[in-house]
Homo-oligomer: A and B are copies of this chain.
């Protein structure tokens, strides 16, 4: 049964919300206290665009937490276990954030904007409170706040052409996670080679919310000849690609090692950071479960999952699948899952308690496609 999403003033609307709604937004959720479009009513077309064409996504929910002041970089370095030696303006970095117990509490992209200003482009948890509380308690000289910045993503193999038409060929030279200040019609932006898919693309970080509707129209016009259409971070594509969705894939004890983030965690650096001792112990102990892919047998799932599905092996609970869908590219039902190392190493299949009865699944590495 369909549930209606209540619309009120408590949950925020992105600067693109009205334009996206006018263009057919059919379903949405809430992310960082803001409405997040999830579908425009034609899942097959939305998937096709990001895989073979180009899609435009209102991802204003990727809120920025700005650290600004003399201690901005020092605070950033204290917040993440990633070694930020060599951090530079214009090159973003994926920076997992853990609490003092070594549990993942967000996985933002960090953008150093100026010498004394850093943005964290966050997943769905209030990192402004985490960072602000720590900065205040430590008496650091830095202001933590949410600036008026709202990303619009252009994703898919034709995204580069669309963005080059809008901003010039220089955008082709940006490295992955590279970014630069830019503008169009005087609208101030940060333009980054990034986005929550593995199909390539860019994100336009709108720096003045009053121009949301105009920027939406400019992207729509520039993309028209490439067949651009609206979409949202794609449920199927993210499972195929094994992208982590904080909150869906994680629980209140998930460590970065379980998520395969090893290369982003440096417990041997001199820099002190939150959770250093705990993470060192976790590294030494080794993991008991890992974030993996599943190939699930049987008829194609008619919809995506509405909840986590439990996994069993020989009757024992061995983990959960957090996102599942039928993949046209893999031509199989697939899922991402947190699975016990014992179950993985057994080489045996697992039983999946899905909405349409029990299914059997093979554990596979990520990405799946």
Contact = CB atoms under 8 A, between A and B. Distances in A.
B33 A124 contact: yes
22 contacts: A3-B5, A3-B26, A3-B28, A6-B29, A7-B306, A8-B235, A8-B305, A9-B248, A9-B306, A9-B323, A10-B124, A10-B248, A11-B29, A13-B307, A29-B30, A33-B247, A105-B129, A125-B129, A127-B129, A130-B130, A137-B138, A145-B252
Given A9-B308, A134-B136, 17 more contacts: A3-B26, A5-B28, A6-B28, A6-B29, A8-B304, A8-B305, A8-B323, A9-B305, A11-B30, A33-B125, A99-B133, A125-B126, A126-B126, A127-B129, A129-B130, A133-B137, A134-B134
A65 to B, nearest CB: 11
A217 B178 CA distance: 55
Nearest to A27: B4
A21 interface: yes
Interface of A: 1-11, 13, 21, 25-30, 33, 38-39, 99-100, 105, 124-127, 129-134, 136-138, 145-146, 235, 245, 247-248, 252, 274, 304-308, 322-323
A14 to B, nearest CB: 12
Nearest to A274: B136
A286 B245 CA distance: 44
A105 B134 CA distance: 15
Nearest to A38: B6
A279 to B, nearest CB: 13
A21 B33 CA distance: 23
A306 B8 contact: yes
A2 B4 contact: yes
Nearest to A11: B29
A29 B8 contact: yes
Nearest to A29: B6
A129, A132, A138, A248 pick with most chain B CB within 10 angstroms: A129
Given A100-B136, A129-B130, A27 B8 contact: no
B99 A8 contact: no
Contact of A132 (B6, B13, B33, B99): B99
A204 to B, nearest CB: 23
A5 B5 contact: yes
A307 B27 contact: no
Nearest to A39: B6
A245 B33 CA distance: 13
A136 B28 contact: no
Contacts of A26: 3-4
Given A21-B1, A133-B133, A136-B99, A29 B10 contact: yes
A37 to B, nearest CB: 9
Nearest to A137: B137
Contacts of A126: 125-126, 129-130
